[in-house]
Each structure stands twice: as C-alpha cells, then as structure tokens.
Structure 1
Amino acid sequence: MKIAQIAPLAERVPPKLYGGTERIVHCLTEELVKLGHDVTLFASGDSLTSAELVPCCDVALRLNPKVRDFLPHHVAMLEEVRRRAHQFDILHFHIEFLHFPLIKDFAGKTVTTLHTRLDLSDVHPFYLAFPDVPLVSISEHQRTPMPPVNWRGTVLHGLDPTVLPFKERPSGAYLAFLGRISPEKGPDRAIEIAVRAGMPLKIAAKVDAQDRDYWDSVVEPLIRRHSNVEYVGEIGESQKADFLGNAAALLFPINWPEPFGLVMIESMACGTPVLAFRYGSAPEVIDDGVSGILVDTVEQAVKRLDRVLGLNRRKVRESFEKRFTTDRMTRDYIDIYRSLPSIRAPADPTPEEEPKKVGLEAA
C-alpha cells in the first residue's frame, strides 16, 4: 500500500528527548517499510526515517527557540498533505483533530489515532460534528468518555524490542520516575513513596512552561528537602536503556485518565517492573503480579513495593514481548487499514513488490 504517516511537529521522529507519539510514529513507519509498503512521512525536517520524508519544518518545533506558535506550522503541513492526498491509499494522522475539516471528501481512506485524553467535554461537540471520521484509540479506557463516533479499533502501542534491551541484573538500587513533571503524572507522589520506603529515587523528566509553577512550588522544594531524591533532567532516547534498565522499579503514580503510558512498556522492555496507580489505561497495560503491581493509594504503594521489587524481571520482559512489540502493533494497524471502505490496494505487498534480498540472504 501507499501509506502517508502524518506526525506532530513538536518533536522529531524519532524524538531526541521527550515524545511518546513521535516514538510510536517512528516504530510504525519503520515496520511498514520493512514489510514492503510504500510509506511517506510528513514530519519535521530533522526526522530520521527509511520512508520518504516530507519535511514540514526545519527542526522539531519544541527545540526551535524562534518558534512561539505551533499552529501555523501544522496548518501549513496539512496544506501539503491535502495537495498530495490523491497519491495515497491510506493517510494515517497522529495530530488529534486539526485535519478533520480537510478530509471530509476522502475520510474513507484515513485513520486518525487519538493519542491524548478524551474526557474533556469541550472536545465532544467537535467529534459529534464529524461522526464518520475513522478513529483509533490507544486503550479501551481512553474511549469511554467519548460520544458515539466511528471507532475502527483499539491498538495498544508497541516498541522495537531491540531498542531497550533486557537487563536481568540492574546495577542500581533506585526507583525511577520518567516522563513529564505535571500534577497528573504524580512526581510528588513518587517522592513520597520513595521517602517513606527509604529508597533512592531518580527523576528524569521535562518541565513544560505550563507546569513551571507546579515545579517551582511543589516538586523542586521536595527534591531539595530529601537527600534520597535526585533530579537528572530530561533524558534522550539513547539514555533510557541505562536509566530504566538499572532501576529496581519504575514508579507510575498517575492521577489522571492516562490514555496509554508509553513509559510503562519501555520499563517492561528492560525487565524493570512497574508500580502503577490504577487509573486510565494502567490496568490494560500492566499484568498485575507479573509485569508490575497496581495500587490505589500511596499507602498501598509503600506496602506493596517489596512485591514489585520481587517480581521476576525475565517474566516482565516476556510480558512485553508477548503484548507490546512493534510487529504486533503494525499488524493491528494493517488490519484496520484493510477494513477501510476506500482501500484500493492489497494490505500486504505482492511477491514482486517485496524488496529483493541481497548478499548472503539471497544465496
């Protein structure tokens, strides 16, 4: 198939630093290319891909100090997508709902994966105005607040199992918190759990402008107050294997309807078990008692931390390999592409379309 992947421009594909959606777009794009599909990626110009890249800005917008407003850049990208839409069998959008008015005439060959929370009532009138646009959720819980829409399926995220290798014996005895400093992610809860448990905590997270007050008034004072808590800043993709793989456990003390929580499966890929609060998608992602432990309160988290630390790391990795690989995610999406009413091409490449093998493989 000829497939367009339309990514957000805030981060590079794959992201240099924080960027869950862009990581998923990269994994999906590369796997589709590997399977022999003709893929075009609309993304920032510094993106790295095996697909044809259509650069829609010079560099990731968040990393460009000259950029103040992301919206004009995304609208310009959508004009390029509109201009080239006839070239594709499938257009797969990862930019929430900005494109909906644009695609009304060819919605039948589009898929939109919604990557963010859907419980905010302000967005519901918008989705009601576009009931025919094919949508994909990233967890079953994510879709529960939505009005009736054209759900085509739920596809749980997947990652390349070689990027975050299994670590059977971590060198650190610390708890890890990875992601974003914000009230809904619960870094203050993570600090409380670590302090009460008497364990070191390392926090690797970005601080967005809208969360600066929370950082200044709540999180940073707690870090200064407790010598067992270390803030290491925002880390890149290349640092995650070491940070997560050498942790005794990942703390995921969320306080919001998390749509998925990519860091949970990143941790599982390393064999590091997860202590997660029972919100949003966490019960769908965590195999309770196998890849992690689910709790409802800080008190439960402290009491059950020993159970988390005692989980078999190899079984944690096996849970990841069984449920959260790029291969499984991509084939789920191919099934959805195949189900669309306007699909014009077979879902899998014909033998003559498959890449020719060279070298030893061809012998």
Structure 2
Amino acid sequence: MPMHLRSLQPSPRRRAIGLWICALAGLGASGLLPAHAQEAWPAKPVSYVVPFAAGGTTDVLGRLIGQRLSQMIGQPVVVENRAGAGGNIGSDYVAKAAPDGYTLVGGTISSHAINVSLYPKMPYDPVKNFQPVALIGTLPNLLVVNANSPWKSVQDVIAAARARPGAVSFGSAGNGTSQHLAGELFAVMAGVKLLHVPFKGSSPAVQALMGGQVDVLFENSVAAMPMIQSGKFRALATTAARRARELPDVPTVAEAGGPKLAGYEIVSWQAVFAPAGTPAPIVNRLAADIGKIIQEPDMRARLASLGIDPSGAGPAELAAFQKSEVARWAQLIKTANIRPE
C-alpha cells in the first residue's frame, strides 16, 4: 500500500476504541445500558395534575401523596390544578403529555371510569391513553345538608322532592363525578325528580351548600367530614353499603331510604395514572414508592380519618379494576338514562 494511503488507516488502538463506542451506542439504543450510563429518573421536578379545583378530595390526596413522594424520589412533586368538565380537562392534558415519568394525574372514578360513558365526545380514552400506577383507596359519598336545614333525614329529602318535583337541588363536584351519579341514582331509585347543579370541584360545591345555593349535597367524605365535624353540615346518610366508622350513627342510604332504595350503593375511588407509554421501570418505581407511602402507619391513619379505605394496589391490579369500573358505570348510565347538563 502506498505510504500516503497507509497513513490514513486507523491504528489498532483507534480501531478498538471506535468499535467500543459503536457497541455502546447499540446498547443505548436497545435500552441495555446500565442505569448510570443514562440520565437517571427523576432528574427534574414531577408534575402531579389534579383535574379538579383546589380543596377537593383529589387535591387533598395529591398534596398528601406528593409531599411524601417528593421526599422519596429526591425531587419536588408539584401539584397543578387543571379543573373542569368533570375531570376531563386535566386528564386530557396528561393523556397528551410526554410519557417520561414527569407528569402524573390524580385519576378518579369520574375521570377514568364514568365520563367515557357520560360525555358524547371524549378528548381521551381513559384506558388506552393512560398507564395505571397505583390505587390510593376507596371512599363513600355522604348526603349532607346545611346545619340550618329543616331536613333531618333521608325521608325528609324524599318528601320535599315529591312535594316540589324538580325544585329540590343537589350540588356535586361536576358532571360525571361519583357525587353527580350518587344524586342521579338516588332520584331514579326513589322515584323523585331533583335539580342537579354541577360545580368545578368539591370546594365550590361545599361553599354553595354553606351559602344556600343548593339544598343538599352528595359529597366525598374527605371534603364533607370537616364540615360535619365543625357542625356546619348535617350528615343524613352515606352512599356506601355499610356505615362509616367515623360516623356510626349516620345510616346508609339503603337503610334510611325505604324499600325503593334497598341495594343503593356508590363508592368512589382515587388513583394515580401516567401517560400511556411511560417506561415500565419508572412506573414500577412510582408504584412501589406510592404503595409504601400508603402503608405507612401515619398515612393510613390520616386516610382513615378522611373516611378513605387505603389500598396501594399496583399497576396490574389497578388496570383490571379500572376496566371493570368502566363497564359497570356504562351499564348504570345507560339504564338510568343519565346525561350531563
């Protein structure tokens, strides 16, 4: 080989380094590089989107979980409220976010099970567009009235609704929420007509009952309990199948509503979801950490005080549960002919 061409040939050492770099690049593309060779997650703050107004159940839980999760992952977990359309606006935002583990959503029975059957045009698919992470827990709704209300029982509400069809109003945290369906199912089973007044979350709904803008409220125990304990609200019934441990003297709707309401039951739930396509190692890390948080004695006691039955179920179990809930609520909405206002 001529001398001028031979000088252009790489030395054995350079050739070996080039082959090593190519090999590493191939491993990186296939995801086989060790963790320390890639950017470790999390390398920046994580956004926890609450698709309801501040002060409601999902917001309270997001801040409780987020604060502890931040300590575990070593990065801030920033709660961001994006309320509206029964949880659809915030959930749609997360559905379209990058699936990189930096955007989560506090999913609920409404945003991730009910709405898909209630709204004619959904901007996202609650199953296909999300990766289930962890189930925080389940909780009942409570039928409450202002402490100044003359109504002392479920039967009082039914009697008033029969006397003034369509005039007795019930507030909820929004169209498609479990609070909304609790009121609709109550009306259907009791054979009365109620006026539904939706709000953009639990906090404004609670304020409306305090101010007399609505007659009754079906509200999650998390938002209703402080008002009951302070004497501002009177609890008439729980929507669960059994009485709440914190309110042993408050009957279930099924108990207090008479024969027509026998079998009445609606229980809400709260969970954490990520955008579909979020890498499994990140999902599993989040699920494990959130599961540990929920099992901590202090957190379990806090959740119990809010009327929540803690869970901590991981991705696979939450996915199966969510699909069963979507089917269940689709049937109820069709049977009761429930429509968003």
Give the TM-score band, short-chain normalised: 0.3 to 0.5
TM-score, length-scaled by structure 2: 0.36
| Alignment TM-score, normalising by the size of structure 1 | 0.34
Bigger Rg, which one: 2
Bigger relative contact order (CA 8 A; separation at least 6): 2
